[in-house]
């Protein structure tokens, strides 16, 4: 993978290599409000216009720690579905290494490279982000991209050695997932320009890939698991669509075909919730087909509060309530993933 080229036209391309002083002239808020805003900003959540001066905090902000959670959870699901995970120190440490690879390293790489190629978009939607605000220079960002990528692939190779794989399955997943992240964000393909393709690529990266890694680490990655997790990733497509609502203005200006831009906010919101719900019901049907009826019933029960929060928050005002909806409903989705994994592991 070559050093990713910068877009041809960008408002910060002429910025000097050294990070510029940040603007600290904005009026100070209440101490508790500032702390809350700094926490949201550090986690990678939107709407927190707080300027950091620590380069390490800025680097962490680029990696968006809030996005690591589903990948770490995906590793847990893969380990559970393998049927071979044991609660002993060795397995715990190996699982933690796989979580490090999937979350901080490769998800951090994904988020950093996405910010690198989205700096013109962020200049419109979130100008306080580290790159458009000048808090970190482009060469510093490129260095971070390479460190995270090579670190993630290195950990993947070490996991393959521990598992005794004849074919380096986890390394192949790490390289393939990293390439998918690259073409998702970078021209000329820039999959995120297409609302359907880009969002499914994102959903599968956050659900299927870490699950496959955990499954391959402790068991066997087979065709059934690949198909089931790719179907589950259709629910992840719906989750990915939720993130598009915060960027409608910038997407329209830059010609990105997100679903809210293509279909309008209301229709896109319905597409979003239907994909989230229907494909979870499809997975419940699969669990019934392998005689895991109790787990299927639990999964269906976990979809019900998601539908409730969709009606309470998201469908009524997706632009205003996207974060509130995610915080309320997504825990039930990720618990449902673990229920599915336990059912598969029980059937092994």
In a domain, residue 89? The reply is: yes
Residue 7: the pLDDT is 39
In a domain, residue 307? The reply is: yes
In a domain, residue 247? The reply is: yes
Looking at the structure of the chain, the number of domains it has is 1
Q: Which residues of the chain have pLDDT under 50?
A: 1-27, 48-49
Half-sphere exposure of 234 (CA within 13 A, CB side): 15
User: Which structural domain range is residue 318 located in?
Assistant: 52-347
Residue 279: the pLDDT is 96
The tens digit of pLDDT for each residue in 117-143 reads 999 888 887 888 899 999 999 999 999
The tens digit of pLDDT for each residue in 74-117 reads 999 999 999 999 999 999 999 999 999 999 999 999 999 999 99
Residue 63: the pLDDT is 95
- Its pTM stands at 0.82
In the block, which residue shows the tokens 């989230």?
276
In a domain, residue 230? The reply is: yes
173 burial level (CB within 10 Å; 0-12, 13-18, 19+): buried
Residue 249: the pLDDT is 79
What tokens appear for 260 in the block?
């809210």
Q: At what angle do helices 318-347 and 293-309 cross, to 10 degrees?
A: 180
Residue 323: the pLDDT is 84
In a domain, residue 320? The reply is: yes
Interatomic CA distance for residues 276 and 188, integer angstroms: 30
Residue 10: the pLDDT is 41
The tens digit of pLDDT for each residue in 240-252 reads 898 888 788 778 8
In a domain, residue 44? The reply is: no
Residue 104: closest CA among 148, 158, 134? 148
Q: Three-class SS string for the chain?
A: CCCCCCCCCCCCCCCCCCCCCCCCCCCCCCHHHHHHHHHHHHHCCCCCCCCCCCHHHHHHHHHCHHHHHHHHHHHHHHHHHHCCCCCCHHHHHHHHHHHHHHHHHHHHHHHHHHHHHCHHHHHHHCCCCCCCCCCCCHHHHHHHHHHHHHHHHHHHHHHHHHHCCCCCHHHHHHHHHHHHHHHHHCCCCCHHHEHHHHHHHHHHHHHHHHHHHHHHHHCCCCHHHHHHHHHHHHHHHHHHHHHHHHHHHHHHHHCCECHHHHHCHHHHHHHHHHHHHHHHHHHHHHHHHCCCHHHHHHHHHHHHHHHHHHHHHHCCCHHHHHHHHHHHHHHHHHHHHHHHHHHHHHHC
Interatomic CA distance for residues 238 and 252, integer angstroms: 20
In the block, which residue shows the tokens 């699969």?
286
In a domain, residue 38? The reply is: no
CATH of the domain at 255: 1.10.600
In a domain, residue 174? The reply is: yes
């Amino acid at each position: 993978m070559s050093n990713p080229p910068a877009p041809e036209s960008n408002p910060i391309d002429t910025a000097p290599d050294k990070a510029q002083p940040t603007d600290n002239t904005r009026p100070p808020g209440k101490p508790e409000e500032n702390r809350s805003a700094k926490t949201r900003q550090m986690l990678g959540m939107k709407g927190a216009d707080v300027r950091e001066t620590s380069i390490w905090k800025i680097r962490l902000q680029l990696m968006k720690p809030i996005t690591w959670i589903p990948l770490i959870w995906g590793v847990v699901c893969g380990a559970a579905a393998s049927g071979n995970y044991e609660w002993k120190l060795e397995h715990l440490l190996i699982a933690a290494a796989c979580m490090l690879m999937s979350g901080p390293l490769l998800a951090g790489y994904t988020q950093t490279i996405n910010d690198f190629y989205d700096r013109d978009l962020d200049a419109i939607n979130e100008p306080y982000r580290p790159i458009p605000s000048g808090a970190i220079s482009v060469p510093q960002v490129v260095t971070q991209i390479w460190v995270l990528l090579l670190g993630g692939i290195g950990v993947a190779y070490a996991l393959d050695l521990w598992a005794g794989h004849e074919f380096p399955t986890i390394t192949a997943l790490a390289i393939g997932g990293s390439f998918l992240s690259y073409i998702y964000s970078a021209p000329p393909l820039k999959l995120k320009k297409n609302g359907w393709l880009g969002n499914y690529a994102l959903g599968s990266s956050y659900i299927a890939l870490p699950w496959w890694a955990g499954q391959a680490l402790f068991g066997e990655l087979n065709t059934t698991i690949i198909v089931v997790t790719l179907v589950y990733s259709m629910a992840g497509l719906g989750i990915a669509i939720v993130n598009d609502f915060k960027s409608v203005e910038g997407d329209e200006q830059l010609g990105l075909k997100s679903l809210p831009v293509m279909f309008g906010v209301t229709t896109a919101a319905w597409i979003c919730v239907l994909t989230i719900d229907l494909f979870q019901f499809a997975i419940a049907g699969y669990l019934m087909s392998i005689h895991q009826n109790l787990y299927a019933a639990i999964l269906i029960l976990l979809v019900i509060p998601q539908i409730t929060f969709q009606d309470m928050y998201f469908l009524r005002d997706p632009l205003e309530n996207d974060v509130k909806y995610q915080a309320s409903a997504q825990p039930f989705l990720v618990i449902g993933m673990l229920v599915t994994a336990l059912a598969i592991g029980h059937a092994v």
